[in-house]
Homo-oligomer: A and B are copies of this chain.
Amino acid sequence: METDKGLLIVLSGPSGVGKGTVRKAVFSEPDISFEYSISATSRPMRPGEIDGVDYFFKTREQFEQMIQDGELLEYTEYVGNYYGTPVQYVKDTLSEGKDVFLEIEVEGAKQVREKFPDGLFIFLIPPSLSELENRIKTRGTESDELIKNRMLVAREELKMMNLYDYVIENDRVDHAVKKIKAIVIAEHCRRTRIEKRIKKLLGVD
């Protein structure tokens, strides 16, 4: 029995919108059938984070070696740190027919779109710009200067919405999770993704 290829699901959105929180909530659902691709980063570990779970933590030198060796599907330098997606895991998992979920920065998502135009791109937005500023401030790990910088970046990032298939308002985490799950189910029914298998099954062309 022929199976469809796995979907590459990309969740992105402006800095501070809550991508990480939503991603964790998605993966705490009992009926999730997709695999999480863990990012690599050169930023320092935050309290409570675990290497190989939240990120693969690398030094700048290690990260730059990975770039040179073509081991990254995408990467970006953001507020002084590298973030990127190891490519091998993504390729292997998709070719097994499983869906892969990436939660990445806007700049990285742009690179993935170029390499995987058939990917499923979801853009998370804040309910308002002032709400976004509140969220960045409440995180409390950055200085005033960094917060100002982040807001400038975020406004630019919001303009990248045009590259995405879906836009989800992160008003409540459970709403966003429900919508992401629905989008993945729907995309598995998208005619252009499955018609080859279906037509073979029913003996029509």
Among B161, B179, B202, contact of A128 (Cβ-Cβ < 8 Å): B202
With a cutoff of 8 Å between Cβ atoms, the chain B residues found around residue A201 in the complex are 128
CA distance A204 to B106 in the complex (A): 16
How many copies of this chain does one complex carry? 2
Q: Does A186 contact B198, Cβ atoms closer than 8 Å? A: no
With a cutoff of 8 Å between Cβ atoms, the chain B residues found around residue A46 in the complex are none
**Residue A181 is within 8 A (CB to CB) of chain B in the complex:** yes
With a cutoff of 8 Å between Cβ atoms, the chain B residues found around residue A189 in the complex are 122, 166-168, 179, 182-183
- The A interface is mostly helix, strand or loop, or mixed, namely helix
**Residue A172 is within 8 A (CB to CB) of chain B in the complex:** no
- Chain B proximity mask over A176-190: 1 for CB below 8 Å, otherwise 0: 001101110111011
A159-B204, A202-B128 as given contacts; A123 in contact with B185, CB under 8 Å: no
CA distance A194 to B122 in the complex (A): 13
Size of chain A's interface in residues, with CB distance under 8 A?
A: 37
CA distance A204 to B123 in the complex (A): 15
With a cutoff of 8 Å between Cβ atoms, the chain B residues found around residue A158 in the complex are 202, 204
| B-binding residues in A (CB < 8 A) | 122-123, 125-126, 128-129, 155, 158-159, 161-162, 164-169, 178-179, 181-183, 185-187, 189-191, 194-195, 198-199, 201-205
Besides the contacts A128-B202, A159-B205, A179-B185, what 11 more A-B pairs have beta carbons closer than 8 Å? A122-B189, A123-B191, A125-B198, A162-B191, A164-B191, A165-B190, A165-B191, A166-B186, A167-B195, A182-B185, A186-B187
